[in-house]
Amino acid sequence: MPRVGFAYHPLFLEHDTGPFHPESPERLTAIVNRLRATGLIDKTWPIEPDPADLSWIETIHEPSYVRSVRETCPAEGIVRLDADTVVSPKSFDAALLAAGAVLSAVDAVMEGRVQRAFCAVRPPGHHALPGRAMGFCLFNNVAIGARYAQRKHGLARVLIVDFDVHHGNGTQAAFYDDPSVLYFSSHQFPHYPGTGRAEERGVGEGTGFTINAPLPPGTRGEDVLRAIDSLLVPAVESFRPEIVLVSAGFDGHIDDPLARFELTDEDYLEITRRIAALAAKQAQGRVISVLEGGYNLSALARSVEAHIQGLAGL
Ligand SMILES: [Zn+2]
For the cut 90, the answer to whether the pLDDT of residue 11 exceeds it is yes
pLDDT at 2: 82
**What separation in Å is there between the alpha carbon of 154 and the centre of ligand 1?**
30
For residue range 239-249, list pLDDT tens digits in order: 999 999 999 99
DSSP state of 40: G
Instruction: Give buried/exposed letters for 171-204 (b at 16+ CB in 10 A, else e).
Output: bbbbbbebebbbbbbbbbbebbbebbeeebebee
Instruction: Report how far residue 214's alpha carbon sits from residue 187's, in angstroms, rounded to the nearest whole number.
Output: 5
Cα–ligand 1 centroid distance for 104 (angstroms): 24
Provide the angle, in degrees to the nearest 10, between the axes of the packed helices 63-72 and 91-110: 130
- How far is ligand 1, taken at its centre, from the CA of residue 36, in Å? 25
The whole-number average pLDDT for the span 137-158 is 98
**CATH value at residue 111:** 3.40.800.20
Q: What is the mean pLDDT of residues 6-31?
A: 98
CA distances from 186 to 99, 111, 193 (A): 23, 30, 13
The rounded distance, in Å, linking the Cα atoms of 314 and 307 is 10
Q: Which residues contact 87 (CB under 8 A, 6 or more apart)?
A: 15, 69, 72, 73, 74, 78, 79, 81, 138
pLDDT at 43: 97
Tell me: the pLDDT tens digits for 261-291?
999 999 999 999 999 999 999 999 999 999 9
126 among known catalytic residues: no
Mean pLDDT over the full length of the chain: 98
Which of 127, 166, 167, 307 is catalytic? The answer is 127
The conformation of residue 99, written as its DSSP 8-state character, comes to: H
Q: How many Å lie between the centroid of ligand 1 and the Cα of residue 1?
A: 30
pLDDT over threshold 90, residue 131: yes
- Ion ligand 1 residues within 5 Å by Cβ: 164, 166, 249, 251, 293
Tell me what the mean pLDDT of segment 306-310 comes to: 98
| Span 207-230, pLDDT tens digits | 999 999 999 999 999 999 999 999
Strand ranges in 155-271 using DSSP code E only, listed in sequence order:
158-162, 181-188, 210-215, 243-248
Q: Is the Cβ–Cβ distance between 77 and 122 less than 8 Å?
A: no
Residues of the domain holding 122 = 4-311
Q: Can you state the percent helix, strand and coil of the chain, rounding each to 5?
A: 40, 15, 40
Question: pLDDT confidence of 1, banded at 50, 70, 90?
Answer: confident
Identify residue 250 by its one-letter amino acid code: F
- Give the closest residue to 109 by CA, choosing from 266, 245, 218, 293: 245
pLDDT tens sequence across 168-213: 999 999 999 999 999 999 999 999 999 999 999 999 999 999 999 9
Q: Is the pLDDT of residue 300 over 90?
A: yes
| pLDDT at residue 314 in the model | 85
DSSP output for 172-188: HHHTTT-TTEEEEEEEE
Q: How far is the CA of 233 from the centre of ligand 1 (A)?
A: 23
pTM over 0.85? The answer is yes
| Separation CA 281–CA 273 (nearest Å) | 12
For residue range 56-77, what is the model confidence (pLDDT) as tens digits?
999 999 999 999 999 999 999 9
Count of domains forming the chain: 1
